[in-house]
Structure 1
């Protein structure tokens, strides 16, 4: 994960530097370019820090070493819900949100409600028994 975090950290630092220079050159009066470049830096740095946290949590992977073997990665790779309907509900809410941009902003209210229900249902799908809330 060290390589992945560097892949996103370098553009994040670059966009942060460019945003500061751009802000000074435009006297921070330009209301689109400076925030957009700053957001690009924030998104890249957010992904870089996420990969760094994963590296600390999971340690070194076989693909991070030169002598790593493919057979070291055999077995389960995570917990997935193969028969879950919640992603469909979330996708419907997001599609409804895109329809709201074309039809009218009043459609955004039910879109957000459906999307939040889908997201909460998907996140807490396995919260049963000892882990229930």
Structure 2
């Protein structure tokens, strides 16, 4: 993660320079704002990766003598049978269509989004997966 953090922080520096040059040269507020927001997003991701890299074990990608097999194994836990991302996707699609076609569509998307969000967060607190 250390390398990825540095890459994103260098990329954020590039975005900052491009934002300043573009803003002074074009005097166009929309593109300048978009580039500045890109700078902010890359700073957030880079800071998170650099901050997390200090607290976790060194991965194979940070070791110059590592083999490909050194990074093999389990990558994490992913729910194999969750329907909640589908509800979130449908609710998000309706919400974005509400911005385009009319804000009234948000009345239909908000309950779907809330059901999907609460279902995903509390998926392992109920039923056969409940922790004792």
Scaled to the shorter chain, the TM-score interval is 0.7 to 0.9
1:2 CA displacement: 1.7
Unaligned runs of 5+ in 2: none
Aligned counterparts, 1:16-55, within 5 A: 16-23=16-23, 25=24, 31-55=29-53
Superposition RMSD on alpha carbons, in Å? 2.5
Distance 1:77 1:101 in 2: 37
Moved over 6 A (4+): none
**Structure 1: runs of 5 or more not aligned:** none
Counterpart mapping for 1:15-94 below 5 A: 15-23=15-23, 25=24, 31-94=29-92
Alignment of 1:100-115 (within 5 A): 100-115=98-113
The Cα of 1:85 is off from its aligned counterpart by 0.8
State the aligned residue count.
Answer: 127
SS for the counterpart of 1:75 is: coil
- Partner of 2:124, secondary structure, is coil
- Counterpart residue number, 2:114: 116
Q: Distance in 2 between matches of 1:80 and 1:116?
A: 21
User: Structure 2 vs 1, CA of residues 16 and 90 (structure 1 numbering), >3 Å: closer, same or farther?
Assistant: same
